[in-house]
Amino acid sequence: MKKKILVTGGAGYIGSHTVVELFLSGYQPIIVDNMCNTSERNIIGINNLLKTTIPFHNIDCTDLDQMNIFFENHKDIHAVIHFAAYKSVGESIENPEKYYKNNIGSTEVLLKCLEKQKLKNLIFSSSCTVYGMPDKLPVNEGSPFKRAESPYGETKQKCEVLIKDNACNSVSLRYFNPIGSHDSGLIGDCSSDNASNLVPIVAEVAFGIRERLIVNGNDYDTHDGTCIRDYIHVQDLALAHVRALDYLLAKEGKYIFNVGTGNGLSVLDIVNTFEQVNNLKVNYVIGPRREGDIEKIYSDGSLIKNILGWEAMRSTKDALISAWKWQNSKML
């Protein structure tokens, strides 16, 4: 029988792609999501893509009573992959309490449920934001936590500490900047709020939904003055969760891995490549720096490659082609 894996936030951007890869890898994912920042489109897309019906439960992961009921009815779950969290750095600065309550609260509830059910295996969706402004690049897993540049980053730091202090076996995946969508065009970022990440905004400008992209600062100490990030294709990222799960089920313990490409690209590198691979122009202007942004960060991916045998396989060009495909499919 297939091992059952609970995926909280499984209808979201990264969660939906991970659900697909779990199923294709022989697991039986079960989605719990309150749909507050995604859409039924991803649920439909997952089922159409896999030609099956993935179990789905509309539950708020901060609701301890509802989560306890779920686990009482699903005592044969082998592991949990926890994505359920808000993810906008900018919004977290404007409304920090929303992020503390949801991101930390859902993790606290989940850990209580795991302890009650004596369920030991947890994969946590962490972030490179836990490193703050790193002193040394590329950043590796031994780099200390610095002051978080946003409440979002702070929630990821605090959740990692909660998990470290819990008795469960765990893998925290600190990933960098996910971009792109599934090759099929059936699932992607269905966030119900306004796009706040670079690539979705670029795609909306190219499509004509937005008039222009505002590049937040061009006076950083980088090759073109704009911020540098490590952009990873979401399908590669989804596969990293499956590899982490395989490893955790075979070898108990607590593990932390960076998930990135190891290659730093600037905002304008992304804009220029998007224009090139999709044969179009993106209207942009230079604006002021944005609170919460760090100058540059990219990963040292040697640990995850050596331990899990995972490395990014898809290119930035692949990701930007798929992002444009998803933008067009959303408008059909």
Q: Which residues are catalytic, by number?
A: 152
Beta strands in the chain (DSSP E): 4-8, 28-32, 56-57, 77-82, 121-127, 169-175, 177-179, 213-216, 228-229, 231-233, 254-259, 265-266, 284-287
CB 28 within 8 A of CB 4: yes
Least Cα distance to 138 among 310, 307, 299, 330 occurs for: 299
CA torsion 132→133→138→142, rounded to 10°?
Answer: -50
**CA of residue 190 relative to chain centroid, distance:** 13
As a whole number of angstroms, the distance between CA 243 and CA 108 comes to 25
The answer to whether the beta carbons of residues 312 and 235 sit under 8 Å apart is no
Cα Rg of the chain, angstroms: 19
Q: How far apart are the first and last CA of the chain?
A: 38
